[in-house]
Amino acid sequence: MTAYVIRRVWQMIPTIFGVILLIFILFNWVGGDPAQVLAGKISNPDQIANIRRQLGVDQPYWVQLLIFVKQVFTFDFGRSWSTNEEVSHIILTRVGPTLTIMLPVLFITTGLSVLFAVLVAYVRGTLTDRMVMIACTVAMSISFLVYIIVFQWLFGFILGWFPVQGWSESFWKNLTYYAPLPIMLAVFVGVAPELRLYRSFFLDEIHQDYVRTARAKGVPEKGVMLKHVMRNALIPILTNVGIALPGVFVGSFLLEVFFSVPGLGREVVTAVNRSDFPVIKAVTVYLAIITMVINLLVDVMYKFVDPRVSFK
Amino acid sequence: MSAQSPLVQIQDLDIRFRLDRKSEPFHAVKGISFDIPQDATVALVGESGSGKSVSAMAILGLLPENAIVAPRSRILYGGRDLLRAPMREMQQIRGKELSVIFQEPMTSLNPVFPVGEQIGEVLRLHMGMGIRQAQARAVELLNEVGIPNPQLRVNSYPHEMSGGQQQRVMIAMAIACEPKLLIADEPTTALDVTIQKQILDLIAALQERHRMSVLFITHDLGVVGEIADRVVVMQEGEIREQGTVDAIFRHPRDAYTKALLACRPRLDRRPMRLPVIDDFLKGEGRVHLEERRRGTSASDAIILEVKNLDKTFFLKEGLFGKRAVPAVKDVSFRLAKGKTLGVVGESGSGKTTVGLTVMRLHEATGGEVLFEGRNLLSLTEREMMAYRRRIQIIFQNPYASLNPRFTVGEILLEPMRIHGIGKDERERIDMALQLLRRVGLPEASFHKYPHEFSGGQRQRIAIARCLTMKPDVLICDESVSALDVSVQAQVLNLLQDLQDEYRLSYIFISHDLAVVKYISDRVMVMNDGVVVEMADSDEIYRNPQQEYTRRLLASIPKGLQRARELET
Amino acid sequence: MSAILDHPPAVAGHHSPGLWLLAWRRLRHDRVGMVSLVIVVFFLLLMTASYMGLVASDWSQEKGVSYANPSFLAGAENLEAKAMEQRAKAAKAPPVDLSDVDPLAPRYKEWEERAKKIAVTEVKRSETLPLGGDKWGRDVLKKAIKGSEVSIFVGLSSALLATLIGTVLGAFAGYWGGKVNDFLEWFYNIFTSIPYILLILAFAAVATSTGKFGKGIVPIVLVLSLTGWTGIYRLIRAEYIKHANREYVKAAQAIGASNNSRMFHHILPNVSHVALVQLSQYTVGFIKAEVILSFLGFGVPVDMVSWGTMLAEAQNELVIGKWWQLAAAGLSMAVLVTAFSLLTDSLRDALDPKLR
């Protein structure tokens, strides 16, 4: 297995380099001269000159690329073009609030989706099944924005159960007072597509030969579902969760924007608005690396979930 | 066999399948009745679409969700009607008193649980055993079905075992609770011939030891002859004939049964043409008495010579390495003009790879293929084009070898266009239609899509496609293996006619020894990538020299032979 | 093909239905699918009509009073409109007289005379509009129609471009394997290791900060398609790998068909239905994405209207009780996306029926 991990890490290197290259091309080449980009956003000419020097704008592209690579590996992207806060500091402080919301969302959504998917798969083909599926489709077609606007208005403004916006310094207060409404919102919206997906996983498994064997052995239908099918369906479900895991770090930027949560997602949106390239570049590159690491961990975990997987 | 009341009685079983909202339901089983006696083996025989599997599944209530069973049907067992038994009761019977083994053991076993646990599940469910007790019993059962090292293997996963071992596990699961009836649904069809024999012997031994009844579903009459006491012959949802094995084989009364018995190529005779079911159904069936002589002689013109052919596949492995998998090792043979070379072997023997490599569908790693003096393997792709039309191939799977989006016409015209055959489109269409007639298909097929044709018809289209280029050599890669017996006979007859008419040379690759003997002049036996033995076909079957060849020949189900012996 | 028609009647037999005709027939029997199809076609026609200027071309005109009530709420109070009126009246009050210091003072009378001669139509703002008005009194109904044109157009074109990119790349990767595959996989990995939203925002950042992606709706179409092709690449590549090993492709090789012929003449028709379903899914996804991006200000430019910009305005309107813009945009979008999603499902079932 060590050989497998080493090989994977080795394979990550060209990809990481590719990401760096992509971001570089996008922001340094296509994006171009910060002077033009920031025109109208920053009035101080000295500041702009400073930025240009740091980026090495007047130097040949490969030098600029080297500067960028160095930045990535020393975790030093300089300062935000708009707030002048250190970019590394920005990233580290914003991750917390994002995770405070996103981790509960991930767990609760997955749990509920799997539960409902099993129930719906159990009654497949019936009217209930079709109604639930259509309800999901309709629910998914309403824009997330509409949900946020309505929920905020209903639960925060009209009913006053939760604050409409805000965040505090205390973790516990955040978790129990400020986070619930956004979490509830994300779960409500997130269950529908996952329910559909997981239901299809269950149905795929139900039609397999080994299910027929289980029935032939006299296993009652409930046992077939909960033991045989579930255990197999867990494989694609975990794949799905694994794919969603990196997204947890960016969080739902819409939620953070609407609810004024000082998270990484909102930070990126603000950065886009202000053309604050260093922030965007840094977040992108680091999240790409985190994604690759998470993928590796998920793949390793596969061995325990799917006995057919072997590491060569 | 005992004179007691039958174990299971199937009465007027009628099953339809709801396909979609608009069409008529498909009538799969049209009111059949037969008994399964106690302590006996009943063979349920038929070709694909005969309804044999469906009937057997009905006994256990394992029909798919869209099945409709007619109200008048009954399946009587132990004093009750299984078709009307409540689900709870059925679940108690399944796996305990009535059990099943299926055709594809790999997919029939749950991939995520170890085999010991799966066997244990039946024991825990029906015999109330605890986990440890069930595990111990599972080890015993694995031993009984002939799995070596049962203590270790009990914790293995299905994918870690071979096909034969997986099937043994299925059998262990099925007999764990000492059932009264074991239903075996084509259990050996997916296995190699030598393994097939082992499994058949195992089932026969278990049947005797445990005194259980076996309902054996198969399309292979040879197998039937070996193991069955009674035979039920089905065709298109109806029973054509049923009786004891002796009666059926000695005095078949039904035309279809007679045809089934006659259509299989035999090991002892080689009629000029194989009888075909249609002939029998029209009442014209008879076995050609005139025999065809086959063999090669030193004076035969050689059209293709293969020397020291090597093909090794390279798979990625380890940190940076590659693993070499030699599929074909140092294979040499000659093909005489107008004759057939049969290539025989089990799965993994490399026989298919030889065919593909000769055609350069795989690139060989060594050796020469001499055609009219030129080494095909050394030609550039452009030079190869001229030879492409001279050597053609017919694949095994008729459902995959024709492009589903092309009409038959397009399929036939394409090669002609590529090689510039025929001076204009009009002439090409004429040729295509002519070929369709030659292979026995209606001209209207020209505008149809492959999915509208049966397996045998699709193979004919594939043959016609090859013929458009007027090849010299035709490689038949398991070309009749996926076809029903009756259709197989038709295609074999067609191939023979074409060889007679056009002086085609064939390389006939197959795992079916009887078919190979029938159609080949010379036979090459392969195992594990090397040529084990090569001789004229009569000679090799009469006097096999090598141990492996003998083992292979010994595995052929003797059922039909027994029938012949009874006949005389 | 005329050669076939020339042929004696024995052969000019019936042309059997191919895949598409069979699928169409199956779709016809799917009631949900047909209803969805009708709705989608309706929206597409609306979109075309709007594009050609036949309807809603005057959406930006401020026809109504501020926050005009919808027709079915004609009697309700409109405080904001009243407040606007007050302000307008105050603005019309005569200015302070500066004629003794103002050098232009003598000319005013002359100009006033001239101005009076020019006919100025003072548009009377209406109290109500069919679906109400927004803050500037623009007709919400017309905005919804125009907005749907923009949102659907963006969604559809991005989907087409993304499908094109993904299909071509997937075909090459799946068919050729080897180094071509390795390179394309590397390329794919780069795009997929960055979380999707982040990727879009990064592209959007560059698109909005510089003019380098083009003008109008071109930037957002490029952003969506350049980031979204990965899904279909994966699918098509898998399909090509599967089909390249199928016997009919080997048979094509055996008869001498070239690589291009095998890739596009043989395999592509067997794979196109997958691409079509994915295209449909993409359209839905990209419409939703456009709405969100436009909401944040990174989507369509400010002089255009889309469902996203409408929702951006609606956010603040809800607090003061004006809900019609939210309803109009939200509802029309929901109807279209539901219909499109159901159509995608029906399409998939029609093209590849499984007994479920």
Q: Which of C13, C255, C269 sits opposite B447 (nearest CB)?
A: C13
Distance from CA of C1 to the nearest CA of A (A): 43
Q: From chain A, which residues contact B within 8 Å (Cβ)?
A: 3, 6-7, 125, 208-210, 212-221, 228, 231-232, 235, 306-308, 312
The per-residue pLDDT for range A75-132, each reduced to its tens digit, is 877 778 777 788 888 888 888 889 889 999 999 999 999 999 999 999 988 889 989 9
Distance from the B21 Cα atom to the nearest Cα atom in chain A, whole angstroms: 14
Measure in Å the smallest separation between the Cα of A109 and chain C Cα atoms.
19
Whether the CB-CB separation of B56 and B215 falls below 8 Å is answered with yes
Tokens of A242: 């694994």
Nearest by CB to residue A280, choosing from C191, C202, C296, is C202
Structure tokens that stand for B204 in this block: 């026969």
CB contact under 8 A, C18 and B449: yes
* Averaged confidence pLDDT in chain C: 83
Report the residue of A210, A231, A312 to disrupt the B interface, i.e. the one with the largest count of B CBs within 10 Å.
Answer: A210
User: CA–CA separation, B196 vs B512, rounded Å?
Assistant: 12
List the beta bridge partners of residue B326.
B312
Burial of C86 (0-12, 13-18, 19+ CB in 10 A): exposed
Q: Confidence band (pLDDT; 50, 70, 90) for A311?
A: low
Pairing, β B238-244 against β B230-235: antiparallel
Burial grade of A220 (CB within 10 A; 0-12, 13-18, 19 or more): middle
Say how far apart CA B16 and CA B63 lie, in whole Å: 11
B95–A212 C-beta distance less than 8 A = no
> A214–B110: do the CB atoms touch at under 8 Å?
yes
Long-range contacts of B533-539 (CB under 8 A, 24+ apart): B534/B333, B536/B294, B536/B295, B536/B296, B537/B294, B537/B295, B537/B342, B538/B294, B538/B295, B539/B295
Cβ–Cβ gap C337/A141 under 8 Å: yes
Q: Which residue of B has its CA nearest to A10?
A: B319
**Which pLDDT does position C121 carry in this prediction?**
63
pLDDT at A24 over 80: yes
Mean pLDDT of all residues in C212-232:
90
Distance, CA of B536 to CA of B296 (rounded, Å): 7
CB contact under 8 A, C356 and A288: no
pLDDT confidence tier of residue C92, bands split at 50, 70 and 90: low
- How far apart (Å, rounded) are the C-alpha atoms in residues A14 and A22? 12
Q: Are B445 and B461 in contact (CB under 8 A)?
A: yes
Question: A39 CA to chain C: closest CA distance, Å?
Answer: 10
pTM score over 0.90: no
Please judge whether A215 and B65 are an interchain contact, meaning their C-beta atoms are less than 8 angstroms apart: no
> Is C11 close to B443, i.e. CB distance below 8 A?
yes
Is the pLDDT confidence value at C5 over 50? no
Chain A residue numbers with beta carbons less than 8 Å from the beta carbon of C288 are 143-144
Surface-to-core class of residue C314, CB atoms within 10 Å of its CB (0-12 exposed, 13-18 middle, 19+ buried): buried
CB contact under 8 A, C210 and A31: yes
Cα–Cα separations (whole angstroms), residue B275 to B247, B287, B566: 21, 6, 21
What's the rounded Cα separation, in Å, for the pair C271 and C174? 12
Q: Do C251 and B405 touch (CB under 8 A)?
A: no
Name all chains with 3 or more CB-CB pairs below 8 Å to chain A: B, C
* B396, B482 Cβ separation under 8 angstroms: yes
- Using the beta-carbon criterion (under 8 Å), do A27 and C198 form an inter-chain contact? no
Whether B187 and B155 have beta carbons less than 8 Å apart is answered as no
pLDDT at residue number C93: 63
Minimal-distance CA residue of chain C relative to B428:
C3
**A205 Cα to chain C: minimum distance (Å):** 12
Residues of chain C with Cβ-Cβ distance to B471 below 8 Å are: none
- Residues of chain C contacting A275 with CB distance shorter than 8 Å: 205, 208-209
Mean pLDDT, residues C292-301 taken together: 88
Model ipTM? 0.87
pLDDT tens track for C56-77: 777 777 777 777 777 766 666 6
CB pair distance less than 8 Å for C193 and A269: no
Distance (Å, rounded) from C-alpha A166 to C-alpha A286? 27
Nearest-angstrom CA–CA distance, A114 and A108:
10
- With beta carbons less than 8 A apart as the criterion, state whether B240 and B256 touch: yes
**Inter-chain CB proximity A218 and B65 less than 8 Å:** no
Distance CA B207, CA B218 (A): 17
CA distance C198 to chain A (A): 7
Among C185, C206, C332, the strongest candidate for a mutation testing the A interface, having the largest count of A CBs within 10 A, is: C206
Q: Tens digit of pLDDT per residue, chain B (568 long)?
A: 445 789 999 999 999 998 877 778 889 999 999 999 999 999 999 888 889 999 999 999 999 888 999 999 999 998 899 999 999 999 999 999 999 999 989 999 999 999 999 999 999 999 999 999 999 999 999 999 999 999 999 999 999 999 899 999 999 999 999 999 999 999 988 888 888 889 999 999 999 999 999 999 998 888 888 889 999 999 999 999 999 998 888 888 888 888 888 887 877 778 888 877 777 777 665 666 667 777 777 778 889 999 999 999 887 765 566 788 889 999 999 999 999 999 999 888 999 999 999 999 988 999 999 998 889 888 888 888 889 989 999 999 888 899 999 999 999 999 999 998 888 899 999 999 999 999 999 999 999 999 889 889 999 999 999 999 999 999 999 999 888 888 888 899 999 999 999 999 999 999 888 899 899 999 999 999 999 999 998 888 888 999 999 988 888 877 666 555 544 4
Residues B116 and B138 sit within 8 Å (Cβ to Cβ): yes
Alpha helices in A75-126 (DSSP H): 87-122
CA distance A149 to C295: 12
**Tokens of residue B264, six digits:** 């299989």
C339: CB partners within 8 A, 6+ apart: C35, C36, C39, C40, C43
CB burial of B76-105 (b: ≥16 within 10 Å; e: otherwise) equals bbeeeebbebeeeebbebbbbbbbbbbbbb
Neighbouring chains of B at 3+ CB pairs under 8 Å are A, C
For residues B199 and B75, is the Cβ–Cβ distance under 8 A? no
B95, B159, B317: residue with CB nearest A216? B95
A158 to chain C: closest CA residue = C319
Among C20, C250, C253, C255, the residue to mutate for chain B (most B Cβ within 10 A): C255
Asked if residue A293 lies in contact with residue C211, where contact means CB atoms within 8 angstroms, the answer is: no
CB contact under 8 A, C3 and B447: no
Nearest-CA residue of chain C relative to B433? C11
**Token pair 């059922």: residue:** B559
- For chains A and C, count residue pairs whose Cβ atoms are closer than 8 Å: 142
Rounded CA-CA distance C67/C125 in Å is 11
Q: How far is B139 from chain C (nearest CA, A)?
A: 39
Smallest Cβ distance to A219: which of B112, B113, B121?
Answer: B121
Q: For A9, which residue in chain B has the nearest alpha carbon?
A: B319
Closest-CA residue in chain A for B87?
A: A220
Q: Which residues have CB under 8 Å from A205's CB, separation 6+?
A: A211, A228, A229, A232, A233
Chain B: residue whose CA lies nearest to C3: B426
For residue B104, list chain A residues with Cβ-Cβ distance below 8 A.
209
Note whether A217 contacts B95, CB cutoff 8 Å: yes
Tokens (6 digits) for B363: 């690139």
Is residue C319 pLDDT above 90, yes or no?
Answer: no
**Contact check, Cβ <8 Å, B443/C251:** no
> How far is it, in rounded angstroms, from Cα A270 to Cα A262?
11
CA C33 to chain centre: 21
Q: How far apart are the first and last CA of chain B?
A: 25
Cα dihedral across residues C95, C100, C104, C106: positive or negative: positive
C-alpha separations of B356 from B339, B402, B412, B512, C208 in Å:
20, 17, 21, 19, 56
Between CA A232 and CA A209 the distance in angstroms is: 13
Inspect the interface and report whether the beta carbons of A212 and B108 lie closer than 8 Å.
Answer: yes
**A125, A209, A220 ranked by CB distance to B108: nearest:** A209
Contact B403 C270 (CB under 8 A): yes
